[in-house]
Chain A
């Protein structure tokens, strides 16, 4: 027998559920109210909160442990030897090893050739240290000063960054008793007006020490009047060395020698 469903019929279970829920909640509240004499009030307030927060907290703790679970998955791995290895006679193995060893020797020689056989200088700008090598032999090491990583900003929208460039450089020029031709920033930094390009005030004697080795683009390896700042990053981009170290570097490196700055 076909029963005709009306809208009321369809809504009936929902209405029943709604009424039921209301009665159930009321009953629960009454039950909780009756607990007044057993549990303190704050406990009744926090109990539902605790019930809601606990699963979330458990879930969050679990999620936090996911990387550990992932790493723990390694424990179940067995050693893998997926390659099909040919069963070989010993002499076949020996031949292969000899061939490899020859190739290794060749590669090693190719790598060794890349290190300059003549003198070269390493400048460590982070630690403000230098190492002077002759071929593979370290002949001197010590402290130096490199760029201060200062950005000088002038009101005229001009700015200069004082840092020592990194990379491979070559000694372009060598000078004794060098004279410093002060660039514009030297005047800006001191709050002085910038003079014309070849004005007398641009030339300073003795500031760069006894020797200077040019690296190009205005960067130099030179001495300093401020020996107490050696080992600190205080320069405008040049590399400052102590007097004795500078002398040794000057006499060891020749024009074309490599300088590695890192």
Chain B
């Protein structure tokens, strides 16, 4: 056996030895390490979010004052009414969500023009852990929607070509929008990071809804994964989801402008 073969033999032995178990173990360990690191970073994001709010809260000297449960509830009511008055100065229709009384209303210039009962409310766990006064600070002022994603269009036109003459005239009735049975779901993205979703109560199904859910999930995953790739704690976006009847959800969506103002009351 010459020297070259001897060396090759050594390497094979080493590689063979290593390749059996340790390589697999190392790979597995790396994978677990990645999972753990990203998992910890991801699960830290609500903590970081709350920390930021606390910081803001502490810097607001006005908030450091006499406090009690009864007084807090009065503060919430006062802040809610103030926000509605602020909305009344706008020219467009606004959405007022009263989670406490389970009511969703449309208002224009302070006049309630539409009111529906909220059948079901789902919200991120963070709202239960959050000091109520933090909610007052962060979510009671009118919030501006920065983006919307929905299963239905804002306005749906049917194009009809004018007949050339009376013989070409068709007594075609337009496709009536109310017979379209696509699920009505939409989500508002706010500038302060909150996501507010309105879903139809009736058991929704169909391709449109699946696409909608997939889009939301994908958006969320990409956002988190993007932050993780930069070794950053992902931004936390608390979400509130309400369920109302499909017809009501459609009316609210169609009545609101593209980027409406919304007021929340917890």
Against A, the Cβ 8 Å flags (1 = close, 0 = not) of B91-135 are 101000000000000101111111000000000111001110110
Q: Which residues of chain B are near A103, meaning CB under 8 Å? A: 78
B44 and A260 within 8 A (CB):
no
Task: Return the contact of A83 from the options B12, B133, B162 (Cβ within 8 A).
Answer: B133
- A45 close to B (CB within 8 Å): no
CA distance A66 to B217 in the complex (A): 10
Smallest CB separation, A194 vs chain B (Å) = 11
Q: Which residues of chain A are near B108, meaning CB under 8 Å? A: 167-168, 260, 262
A70 and B234 within 8 A (CB):
yes
- B23 close to A (CB within 8 Å): no
Q: Which residues of chain B are near A163, meaning CB under 8 Å? A: 155
Task: Return the contact of B43 from the options A73, A78, A107, A155 (Cβ within 8 A).
Answer: A73
Against A, the Cβ 8 Å flags (1 = close, 0 = not) of B1-34 are 0001001100110011001000000010001000
- Whether A63 contacts B221 in the complex (CB less than 8 A), given A107-B85, A153-B162, comes out as yes
Q: Give the size category of A's interface with B.
A: 35 or more
A151 and B169 within 8 A (CB):
no
Q: Which of A3-11, A20-28, A172-180, A244-252 contacts B (4 or more CB under 8 A)?
A: A20-28
Q: Which of B61-69, B142-150, B186-194, B204-212 contacts A (4 or more CB under 8 A)?
A: B61-69
> A residues 110-155 with Cβ under 8 Å of B?
110-111, 114-116, 120, 122, 124-128, 148-155
B221 and A262 within 8 A (CB):
no
Q: Give the size category of B's interface with A.
A: 35 or more
Q: Which residues of chain B are near A49, meaning CB under 8 Å? A: none
Q: Which residues of chain A are near B240, meaning CB under 8 Å? A: none
- Whether A116 contacts B131 in the complex (CB less than 8 A), given A24-B15, A70-B224, A83-B64, comes out as no
A88 nearest CB neighbor, chain B only: B66
Q: Which residues of chain A are near B27, meaning CB under 8 Å? A: 55
- B54 close to A (CB within 8 Å): yes
A20 and B81 within 8 A (CB):
no
A69 and B42 within 8 A (CB):
yes
B166 and A80 within 8 A (CB):
no
A262 and B114 within 8 A (CB):
yes
CA distance A88 to B133 in the complex (A): 18
Q: Which of A94-102, A201-209, A217-225 contacts B (4 or more CB under 8 A)?
A: A94-102
Q: Which residues of chain B are near A62, meaning CB under 8 Å? A: 35
B133 nearest CB neighbor, chain A only: A83
Q: Which residues of chain A are near B155, meaning CB under 8 Å? A: 149, 163
- Whether A100 contacts B50 in the complex (CB less than 8 A), given A74-B129, A127-B251, comes out as no
Q: Which residues of chain A are near B91, meaning CB under 8 Å? A: 167
CA distance A23 to B93 in the complex (A): 76
Task: Return the contact of A107 from the options B78, B93, B220 (Cβ within 8 A).
Answer: B78
> A residues 190-207 with Cβ under 8 Å of B?
190-192
Against B, the Cβ 8 Å flags (1 = close, 0 = not) of A11-46 are 000001101110110010000000000000000000
- Whether A73 contacts B42 in the complex (CB less than 8 A), given A100-B71, A151-B159, comes out as yes
Q: Which residues of chain B are near A104, meaning CB under 8 Å? A: 74, 77-78, 81
A23 and B12 within 8 A (CB):
yes
A110 nearest CB neighbor, chain B only: B85
Q: Which residues of chain B are near A116, meaning CB under 8 Å? A: 111
B129 and A79 within 8 A (CB):
yes
A129 nearest CB neighbor, chain B only: B251
Smallest CB separation, B251 vs chain A (Å) = 4
Interface centre among B58, B78, B236 (most CB of A within 10 A): B78
B residues lining the A interface (CB < 8 Å): 4, 7-8, 11-12, 15-16, 19, 27, 31, 35, 38-39, 42-47, 50, 54, 57-58, 63-68, 70-71, 74-75, 77-78, 81-82, 84-85, 88, 91, 93, 106, 108-114, 124-126, 129-131, 133-134, 155-169, 173-174, 176-178, 217, 220-221, 224-225, 228, 234, 236, 247, 250-251, 254-255
Q: Can you sample 8 A-B contacts with CB below 8 Å?
A: A16-B11, A70-B224, A73-B236, A74-B46, A85-B66, A97-B70, A149-B155, A260-B108
Known A-B contacts: A17-B11, A104-B74, A233-B176. Give 15 more (CB < 8 A): A24-B16, A27-B16, A66-B38, A71-B125, A74-B46, A77-B46, A79-B131, A83-B63, A84-B64, A96-B71, A104-B81, A115-B112, A127-B251, A153-B160, A262-B108
